Structures are given as structure tokens and as C-alpha cells.
């Protein structure tokens, strides 16, 4: 079964229109005749970027910044499209949205209890996001990043790693059959492409380098026990199925440089900042939680 998609009527309109745009079914703004300049017109005062008025609906202005923001809320493949390509359709949809919103307000739907409740939830999410983003931004100083990198590098340094390939099958009999073919000289990567049920089978079962803790114990124990160039002579069972493992290399890792690890370290600092902030908030508040039966739950330990 597939999860149900929740699509608003306006979202459905936008999706259909933008699908047409993605297929080239729109007239690009660049293709339209340029307006003739009026030499006698007074020079307008330049507006801040994004504040250009692109539509008025009963006197309410729609700005270019609204169009740009709407584009960023669309699927990634549409976000990457030139704005000029989807501008006419997107502008029409935003105008439609303004008309529908105004009609809803005139019908006093903005006072509907369910609408008010949903607005409150949305407002809460926006505030939460803004609060945590500020905590993360405050934490991402160069000194903090470098300090976190030192811990990160220490954890990475001197770690034993193996470079391995594997073939994953459903049954022990299938794994034994694969081993039989290897004993006859078959190429491991080709067998992985042919038999492995793991998505990595298409790349010859290559797992790259990994540490012992990166894999489930049964798999890691078998891989780290093998010399380079050897494969498991008996199938290895894990929660995922039956594996045949080939180890290509052993090495002791060296940590990446600060610049190479910057993105990963930044994510670690962000995670630490959120975790610290949540602990501070919980410590300063009285939190009581209850189970589905209404009985108090023990502290979560966070």
C-alpha cells in the first residue's frame, strides 16, 4: 500500500498547471513582445529586489517576492526550472489563491474553529522552526565548529576499516550456490549484479570502506575476520537475509581535513545545539505526560 497524499484543491490546480509548464506547455515571459519604452515617462524610483508589483487583485498587491517564495515551495525539479518558464502559470495560480482567500474571508471561514485551530498549529510550527534555527545559527561559530571537529577527528583517527563487497540473497541455499560459483572462478562483482537483492548489487555489491560499528554485528564480525582478497566460505546470516562477503582491503583510517569535514561537522554542531536547547527547556519546565489509559508516564529521560 502507498501512503495517501493529501492534496488541497489549489495544490491540485498548481500541480496540473506546473506539470504542463514542465513539459514546455507555457509561453515563456521571454517569448512575449517587450513593451515599448515611453521616452516621456518619468524615471521610477528603483524598488528593493523582490518588491516589484506583479499583480493587483481588488487593490491588494502581489509582489515578485511572493512568486519567488511560491516557487521555492514547489517540488525540487520545479524549483530548479528558470522562473521565466513557469512564471505565467505560477502567477495565475497565485492570483487564483488570492481570489479564493478573499472569498473565504467574505464567507467568514477565517473565523471557523477548525481553521483557527489549524492556523494555530501552523503558527506553532513556524515559531518552533524559527527558534531552533536561531539556536543553530548562534551555535555555528567558527570556534565551535573547530572544537567539534577536534572531537570528530579524534573519533575517526586510528579506526580500523575494511573495504568489502557483498551479495545478499533470501535463502541459505542461494548463498551456498553463489559460493559454489565463486569456487569455480566466477567474478564476484558480476555475481552481485546477477543475484544480489540489495540495491548496491547493481554496482557489484561494493560497500566502500566502513568501520565495525557501521554494520550489524554478524556482518561486521565476518568481514573484519577475512583477509584482503578472501570471501566467506559459508553464508553469513543477518536480519536482512544471507550474505556472501568479499573483503578487498583493510586500512587504518585517517580523519578528513577540517574543510573536507566542514559540512558533516556543521550538521553535528546543529544537532548538538538543538539537543542542548531541548534539555535546557525541559529542565526549566514542569512536564507531565500521560499514557493512552490516562495514567502518568515516567519521565522520558531527555
What is the pTM (predicted TM-score) of this model? 0.58
* Residues 6+ away with beta carbon under 8 Å from 100: 10
Q: Was domain 158-252 assigned CATH 3.40.50.1100?
A: no
C-alpha cell at 132: 531552533
Give the pLDDT score at 33: 36
Give the pLDDT score at 158: 86
What is the C-alpha to C-alpha distance for residues 231 and 180, in angstroms, rounded to an integer?
A: 12
Q: Which helix (H) or strand (E) covers residue 83, if one does? A: helix 83-106
Q: Which of 248, 249, 231 is nearest to 167 (CA)?
A: 231
Domains of the chain, by residue range, sit at: 13-30+52-112, 124-157+257-285, 158-252
C-alpha cell at 211: 568501520
Q: Which helix (H) or strand (E) covers residue 117, if one does? A: helix 113-139
C-alpha cell at 165: 563487497
Q: Which of 72, 91, 86 is nearest to 20 (CA)?
A: 86
Counted residue by residue, the chain has a size of: 302
What is the C-alpha to C-alpha distance for residues 245 and 226, in angstroms, rounded to an integer?
A: 9
C-alpha cell at 66: 511572493
Q: In what order do the strands lie in the sheet with 160-169?
A: 206-211, 160-169, 241-252, 236-238
What is the C-alpha to C-alpha distance for residues 94 and 88, in angstroms, rounded to an integer?
A: 10
What is the C-alpha to C-alpha distance for residues 211 and 22, in angstroms, rounded to an integer?
A: 44
Which regions of the chain are under pLDDT 70?
1-50, 301-302
Using alpha carbons, list the distances in angstroms from residue 274 to 122, 158, 287.
20, 29, 18
Among all chains, which residue has been given the C-alpha cell 517587450? 34
- Give the three-state DSSP class for 57: strand
Query: Is 169 in contact with 196 (CB distance < 8 Å)?
Result: yes
Q: Which of 193, 291, 174 is nearest to 244 (CA)?
A: 174
Q: Which residues pair with 166 in a beta bridge?
A: 245
Query: Is 244 in contact with 178 (CB distance < 8 Å)?
Result: yes
- The CA angle 98-102-108, to the nearest 5 degrees, is 145
Give the pLDDT score at 31: 36
Amino acid at each position: 500500500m502507498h501512503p495517501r497524499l493529501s492534496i488541497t484543491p489549489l495544490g491540485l490546480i498548481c500541480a496540473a498547471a506546473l506539470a504542463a509548464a514542465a513539459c514546455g506547455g507555457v509561453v515563456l515571459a521571454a517569448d512575449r513582445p517587450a513593451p515599448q519604452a515611453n521616452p516621456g515617462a518619468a524615471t521610477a524610483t528603483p524598488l528593493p529586489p523582490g518588491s516589484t508589483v506583479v499583480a493587483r487583485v481588488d487593490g491588494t498587491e502581489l509582489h515578485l517576492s511572493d512568486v519567488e517564495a511560491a516557487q521555492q515551495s514547489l517540488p525540487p525539479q520545479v524549483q530548479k526550472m528558470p522562473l521565466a518558464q513557469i512564471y505565467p502559470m505560477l502567477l495565475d495560480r497565485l492570483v487564483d489563491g488570492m481570489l479564493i482567500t478573499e472569498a473565504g474571508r467574505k464567507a467568514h471561514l477565517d473565523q471557523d474553529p477548525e481553521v483557527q485551530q489549524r492556523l494555530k498549529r501552523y503558527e506553532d510550527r513556524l515559531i518552533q522552526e524559527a527558534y531552533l534555527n536561531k539556536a543553530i545559527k548562534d551555535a555555528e561559530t567558527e570556534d565551535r565548529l573547530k572544537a567539534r571537529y577536534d572531537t570528530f577527528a579524534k573519533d575517526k583517527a586510528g579506526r580500523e576499516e575494511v573495504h568489502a563487497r557483498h551479495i545478499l540473497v533470501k535463502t541459505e541455499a542461494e548463498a551456498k550456490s553463489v559460493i559454489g560459483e565463486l569456487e569455480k572462478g566466477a567474478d564476484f562483482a558480476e555475481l552481485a549484479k546477477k543475484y544480489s537483492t540489495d540495491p548496491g548489487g547493481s554496482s557489484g555489491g561494493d560497500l566502500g570502506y566502513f568501520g565495525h560499528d557501521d554494520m550489524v554485528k554478524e556482518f561486521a564480525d565476518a568481514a573484519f575476520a577475512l583477509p584482503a582478497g578472501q570471501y566467506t566460505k559459508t553464508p553469513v546470516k543477518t536480519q536482512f537475509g544471507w550474505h556472501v562477503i568479499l573483503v578487498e582491503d583493510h586500512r587504518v583510517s585517517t580523519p578528513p581535513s577540517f574543510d573536507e569535514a566542514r559540512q558533516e561537522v556543521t550538521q553535528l554542531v546543529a544537532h548538538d545545539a538543538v539537543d542542548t536547547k531541548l534539555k535546557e527547556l525541559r529542565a526549566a519546565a514542569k512536564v507531565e505526560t500521560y499514557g493512552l489509559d490516562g495514567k502518568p508516564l515516567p519521565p522520558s529521560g531527555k
